[in-house]
Structure 1
Amino acid sequence: MQKNYGFHLGVILYIVGMSFFQQTFSFMGLNVFLAWLPIVFGQLFMKLDSGWHWLLGLLWLLFFPNIPYLLTDLFYLTSLDIYRPNGLFSATFPDWWSFLLLVLPILMMVFIGMGQVFSLLKTVTLDLKQQVASLTILAFLSGIAVYIGRFERIHSIELLIHPIKTVTLLIGDWSMAKVQFVALYSFIQLSIWGLIYFLQKMSKEE
């Protein structure tokens, strides 16, 4: 984690700044914190001895959905007065500053957090088919978690506080809307992983 101290320091400063000094999108302090946790757990998983792997792996899996969940926060951009009905854009600095504070951390956390999955997969012995299957299962589970997080307002920590209620929401109540959302969100995550894989492959060829 020492090599990434700049990233972690930046995340901490962002969390503090958004939580205590920013009115617009102040909720992003908590959301980024929840998305930061699996990145930390993932790094610890790769650095510490195998005796801690089961616990760190469980914590990583528990909090990982908070990373793709951040993408749903992009809808809050509609609250900004940037796009006008006449088709023109406003150049008001406060709105564009809020735009930056929302979009930049989402892009960073999503690509770093989801890109980390490839590093985690390298720590276990899996062939290509098993890796693809693992990503598909993870995308599916995350899609369910994002659904109950966004529409049922259930946070990751509630799986520890109210396990029965949370598990019931995870595996039950399969309405058509839930099926469609989970399928769509699984596809979005797999597409992001595909893009990250493609970019990594291109960088190795250069």
Structure 2
Amino acid sequence: MKPVEKMILLSILFMCLLLAVRICYTQNIAYIFLAWNTVLALIPLAISRKLKPGEAPGPRNILQLSAWLLFFPNAPYLLTDLFHFHAKPPVPAWFDLFLLVTAAWNGLLLGMVSLMQVEHFLMAGFKKSTVHLCLAGASLLCGYGIYIGRFMRFNSWDVIAAPHDLLQGLAAHFIHPFRNAEVWFFTALFAAMFSLFYFTLKKLRSHTLC
């Protein structure tokens, strides 16, 4: 396990500890969905870890990348769980804020590290400009995936479990793009925000702070 993965694991365990303390204190399973969403957020990282830079592109790699792209939004999706924050006595509001922010950070970090592994894999076989175009496309698709997950309540597995409902729900976004401006505005803003975070983290990795 790489050092950064160990830190991610430690952060996830910290979130789980906060959640366990909350459940024991209140005898209530509010926010238990954070545990499940974190499990889903681990899927893209698990897939990207299996990509081997320098390996000749083939059907297996294409399948892995497709699966990764399908589950990729599950990681930064945790950022939107901040919508659930509001005071829930007797738990102090600050405790729940720590819990939700930690979960959101874990999702963001899982997404960025996973994307870095995909970038590293693509850099071995494609031009830098092509890779950056792929990263931009992945960020846009991720933002769109988060929108349909958070606001339309679709899941990654609905591609197989309910493809007709999924396609029917998404068709209006493309047939009437101006009527669904919020969808594209959210998608573009998320992609810009995530890209800013991503490239900032990469700069921090390559520079020593004084």
Aligned length: 195
Alignment check: 8 A CA contact 2:19 2:32 kept: yes
- Shift of residue 64 of structure 1? 0.7
Give 1:116's aligned residue. Answer: 114
Which 5+ residue runs of structure 1 have no aligned equivalent? 83-91
- Shift of residue 9 of structure 1? 6.9
Q: CA RMSD in A?
A: 3.3
Alignment check: 8 A CA contact 1:35 1:66 kept: yes
Higher relative contact order (CA 8 A, sep 6+): 2
Give 2:105's aligned residue. Answer: 107
- Shift of residue 12 of structure 1? 6.8
Secondary structure of 1:44's aligned partner: coil
CA distance in structure 2 between the partners assigned to 1:100 and 1:192 by the alignment: 21
The TM-score normalised by the length of structure 2 is 0.74
5 Å-filtered alignment, 1:55-66, equals: 55-66=63-74
Alignment check: 8 A CA contact 1:70 1:110 kept: yes
Give 1:149's aligned residue. Answer: 149
Name the aligned partner's letter for residue 28 of structure 1.
L
Give 1:45's aligned residue. Answer: 51
- Shift of residue 38 of structure 1? 0.9
5 Å-filtered alignment, 1:1-206, equals: 1=1, 4-5=5-6, 7-8=8-9, 11=12, 14=15, 18=19, 21=23, 23-46=29-52, 52-77=60-85, 79-80=86-87, 94-124=92-122, 125-170=125-170, 172-174=171-173, 176=178, 178-206=180-208
Alignment check: 8 A CA contact 1:31 1:70 kept: yes
The TM-score normalised by the length of structure 1 is 0.75
Name the aligned partner's letter for residue 107 of structure 1.
W
Alignment check: 8 A CA contact 2:41 2:107 kept: yes
Alignment check: 8 A CA contact 1:18 1:25 kept: yes
CA distance in structure 2 between the partners assigned to 1:126 and 1:15 by the alignment: 39
Name the aligned partner's letter for residue 25 of structure 1.
Y
Alignment check: 8 A CA contact 2:75 2:111 kept: yes
Which 5+ residue runs of structure 2 have no aligned equivalent? none
CA distance in structure 1 between the partners assigned to 2:7 and 2:112 by the alignment: 19
Name the aligned partner's letter for residue 181 of structure 2.
V
- Shift of the 135–69 alpha-carbon distance from structure 1 to 2, 3 Å rule, reads same
Identity of aligned residues (%): 23
Alignment check: 8 A CA contact 2:82 2:101 kept: yes
Give 1:88's aligned residue. Answer: none
CA distance in structure 1 between the partners assigned to 2:19 and 2:66 by the alignment: 28
